[in-house]
């Protein structure tokens, strides 16, 4: 049902708001130094509450079957356990669903001066979280709903009017307001307070295997060069050789290059954004195409030095084979599992404005 007949009854409003209450903007979890109140336009409790409804509302899709959360699944740290997503009408995507956690301040800890500030999706084609929120809604293989149609549908849901008014000053539904509300909800999905974080601050212990894995991660294996703590990403793009066809000397997916057509700085063919490793154990398979089944397989992939191609990342090219033992691989996986944290969990609302 898209709309009710007249204003909702007071008891309906009480149940609706109890199911999705307006919450203060909280502190980030241990290990994540992101002060949301310091952003140029800080999230507000009203926009976050509205965005939470919109993120989980299937009415944003063309046929009312898919929400943002259908692919960015809360149970899997807002990612998915399939190689690629499935959109409206069973349309298959081409890339693994990336997590949305810890995106409040992109690239803040980047070790690269030329890293793009604001680069979302595997290929960095969206410059803001607001732009990122809008792309899947209209994407033909995703939610398949042109933005004017999405706005029209939401405008007919009378129950949303008061909450748009609380969030933005009046009840108008626009694509910009939808994007801002969803983005502000996404900004609150932060992961920290992991066993690793508590150990690093002297508030807990980890196993010897995790300790050895962290030493390898920051040392011999060289993982931290791109998966830079504390977000465990450098926010920029690297070519690992995934999807390289030596016969055609081309990539199945050109990644960042398809966006920039620039192979000088950040747009080598086959380059994709470094994903965060926080909560990485919750959403196998891995890589931009979901082609590597397990974390142990990912470690072995790097142990082999990636896949040779003309634009292979310089770090991989220089290091070559890592020479890790099976025990080393086990320790690295133990460390990655220790990055499971708190602060992002949310099952979503069960009631929606009508």
Q: Residue 162 has what pLDDT?
A: 97
**d(Cα 24, Cα 19) in Å, to the nearest integer?**
15
Mean predicted confidence (pLDDT) in 229-256: 95
**pLDDT number for residue 279:** 98
For the chain, what percent of residues have pLDDT higher than 70? 93
pLDDT of residue 4: 43
Predicted confidence at residue 116, as pLDDT, reads 42
CA distances from 82 to 89, 94, 272 (A): 17, 11, 19
pLDDT at 138: 97
What's the whole-number mean pLDDT along residues 154-172?
98
pLDDT score for 113: 41
What confidence tens digit (pLDDT) does each residue in 281-329 have?
999 999 999 999 999 999 999 999 999 999 999 999 999 999 999 999 9
The tokens for 127 are: 């410059």
Q: Where does the pLDDT of residue 266 fall: very low under 50, low under 70, confident under 90, or very high at 90 and above?
A: low
Q: Of 49, 52, 69, which Cα lies nearest the Cα of 143?
A: 69
- The token pair at 38 is 């310091």
Q: What is the pLDDT of residues 88-134, one digit of tens each?
A: 999 999 999 999 999 987 554 444 344 444 689 999 999 889 999 99
| C-beta of residue 290 within 8 angstroms of C-beta of residue 271 | no
33 — pLDDT class (breaks 50, 70, 90) = confident
What per-residue confidence (pLDDT) applies to 265? 56
Q: What is the pLDDT of residue 11?
A: 86
**Residue 2 — pLDDT band, cuts 50, 70, 90?**
very low
At residue 268 the predicted structure's pLDDT band, cuts being 50, 70 and 90, is: confident
Distance CA 144, CA 66 (A): 9
Average pLDDT, the chain: 92
Q: What is the pTM of this model?
A: 0.93
* pLDDT beyond 70 at 220: yes
3-state secondary structure the chain: CCCCCCCCCHHHHHHHHHHCCCCCCCCCCCCCCCCHHHCCCCCCHHHHHHHHHHHHCHHHCCCCCCCHHHHCEHHHCCECCCCCCECHHHCECCCCCCCCCCCCCCCCCCCCCCCCCCCECCCCCECCHHHHHHHHHHCCCCCCCCHHHHHHHHHCCHHHHHHHHHHHCCCCCCHHHHHHHHHHHHHCCCCECCHHHHHHCCCCCCCHHHHHHHHHHHCCCCHHHCCCCCCCCCCCEEECCCCEECCCCEECCCEHHHHHCCCCCCCCCCEEECCCCCCHHHCCCECCCCCECCHHHHHHHHHCCCCCCCCCCHHHHHHCCCCCCHHHHHHHHHHHHCCCCECCCCCCCCCCCC
The whole-number pLDDT of residue 115 equals: 41
């Amino acid at each position: 049902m898209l709309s009710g007949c007249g204003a909702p009854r007071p008891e309906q409003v009480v149940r609706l708001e109890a199911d999705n209450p307006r919450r203060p903007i909280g502190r980030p979890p241990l290990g994540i130094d992101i002060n949301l109140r310091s952003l140029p336009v800080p999230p507000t409790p009203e926009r976050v509450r509205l965005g939470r409804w919109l993120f989980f509302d299937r009415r944003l899709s063309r046929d009312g079957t898919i929400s943002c959360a259908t692919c960015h699944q809360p149970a899997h740290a807002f990612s998915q356990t399939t190689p690629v997503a499935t959109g409206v009408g069973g349309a298959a995507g081409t890339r693994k669903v990336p997590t949305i956690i810890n995106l409040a301040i992109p690239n803040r800890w980047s070790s690269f001066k030329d890293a793009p500030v604001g680069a979302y999706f595997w290929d960095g084609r969206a410059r803001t979280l607001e732009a990122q929120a809008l792309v899947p809604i209209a994407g033909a293989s995703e939610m398949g709903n042109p933005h004017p149609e999405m706005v029209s549908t939401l405008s007919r849901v009378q129950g949303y009017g008061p909450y748009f008014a609380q969030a933005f000053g009046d009840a108008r539904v626009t694509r910009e307001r939808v994007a801002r509300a969803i983005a502000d909800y996404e900004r609150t999905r932060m992961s920290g307070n992991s066993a690793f974080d508590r150990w690093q601050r002297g508030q807990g212990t980890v196993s010897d295997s995790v300790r050895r894995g962290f030493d390898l991660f920051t040392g011999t294996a060289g993982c931290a060069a791109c998966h830079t703590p504390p977000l465990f990403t450098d926010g920029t793009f690297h070519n690992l050789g995934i999807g390289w066809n030596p016969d055609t000397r081309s990539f199945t997916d050109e990644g960042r290059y398809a966006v920039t057509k620039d192979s000088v700085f950040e747009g080598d063919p086959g380059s994709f954004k470094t994903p965060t490793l926080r909560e990485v154990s919750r959403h196998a398979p891995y890589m931009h195409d979901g082609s590597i089944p397990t974390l142990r397989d990912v470690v072995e992939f790097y142990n082999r030095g990636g896949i040779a191609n003309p634009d292979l990342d310089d770090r991989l090219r220089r290091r070559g084979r890592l020479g890790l033992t099976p025990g080393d691989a086990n320790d690295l996986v133990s460390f990655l599992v220790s990055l499971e944290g708190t602060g992002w969990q949310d099952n979503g609302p069960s009631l929606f404005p009508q």
